[in-house]
Amino acid sequence: MKPGLKHFFDSMEAYLAGPPGAEGLSKLSASHPGWDVAPERMALYGQFVRGHVRSTLEKLFPLTRKAVTPAAWDALVEGYTRTRPARHYELNRLGEGFPPFVADGTQAQGLPPFLPALARFEWADFAVFASEEVIPERVTQLTPNPTLAVLEQPYRLCAFVRTRDGAPPAEGDELALLWRHPEALVTYYMAATPPALLVLKMAVEGLSEEAVAQATGMAAPDVHAEVVRFAKDGLVLRPVE
């Protein structure tokens, strides 16, 4: 980045994170001698940026927003806007730092203890959906879905997100699996189960159905049925028969 452009972004970051009104504009003008900036235009720019941050966070974290009071959400958005300026050209990427920001302030702000895990889950949901990993159309052996993300969390969030019944998520360790379905192109998620982990192990280690049946004592048709089931859900990719 050229020095002049870097200076511009640094000064705008200080402006957006600094005091509103005339004081902030005065400091911005001082960092750019010769600027003749109408205060109304700069105020509009600040509102424009803040509006984009708010709308993007509300799109990416609807359940996190719903889990707190409107005042608490406003405080989170404003605090995040001031301390985590958006730098990426793709607006959705500004949400990447929101879960750790929520985690840092949960105790001090008296927020629900499950909020950091929920924000992390919602970001993973989007990140999997937007993953640039290429899902091959055909494979020659059982293969894990390359968009798969694994989250260890202290709450049963998969059931909470699926039901959305207003009750807080139950406490309890959960290993959540999230992946983008190859055909539906949406994020699928589930709490890991022994059959799902077994099929993933087969895909990662290249184990045959026959070898797994012998090693586990499962009936061969049952092993095959689990492979077919999770391949249909897109958790693993299976060769065309």
Q: Are strands 149-155 and 171-180 parallel, antiparallel or unpaired?
A: antiparallel
Q: Which residue pairs, CB below 8 angstroms and at least 24 apart, start in 55-63?
A: 56/91, 56/92, 56/94, 56/95, 57/94, 57/95, 57/98, 59/92, 60/92, 60/95, 60/98, 60/122, 60/123, 60/126, 61/95, 61/98, 61/119, 61/122, 61/123, 62/122, 63/118, 63/122, 63/161, 63/164
Q: State the DSSP string of 25-67.
A: HHHHHHTSTT----HHHHHHHHHHHHHHHHHHHHHH-HHHHHT
Q: What's the pLDDT score for residue 50?
A: 72
Q: What's the pLDDT score for residue 37?
A: 64
Number of neighbours of residue 35 by Cβ within 10 angstroms: 11
As a whole number of angstroms, the distance between CA 129 and CA 85 comes to 24
Alpha helices in 61-180, H assignment, sequence order: 62-66, 70-83, 98-109, 115-129, 157-163
> The domain 135-241: what is its CATH number?
3.90.930.50
Work out the end-to-end distance of the chain between its first and last CA atoms, rounded to an integer number of angstroms.
Answer: 52
* Both tokens assigned to 84: 């985590």
Q: What's the pLDDT score for residue 45?
A: 60
In one-letter notation, the amino acid at residue 49 is V
Q: What's the pLDDT score for residue 91?
A: 85
Torsional class of 217: left (φ above 0), alpha (ψ -120 to 50), beta (otherwise): left
Q: What's the pLDDT score for residue 241?
A: 73
Query: What is the domain partition of the chain in residue ranges?
Result: 55-130, 135-241
Residue 121: Cβ-neighbour burial (10 angstroms; 0-12, 13-18, 19+): buried
The pLDDT tens digits along the chain (241 residues) read 788 778 777 777 776 666 655 666 677 777 777 776 666 665 556 565 677 889 999 999 999 999 999 999 999 999 998 887 666 778 899 999 999 999 999 999 999 999 999 999 999 999 999 999 999 999 999 999 999 999 999 999 999 999 988 789 999 999 999 999 999 999 999 999 999 999 999 999 999 999 999 999 999 999 999 999 999 999 999 998 7
Name residue, tokens 């970051």.
13
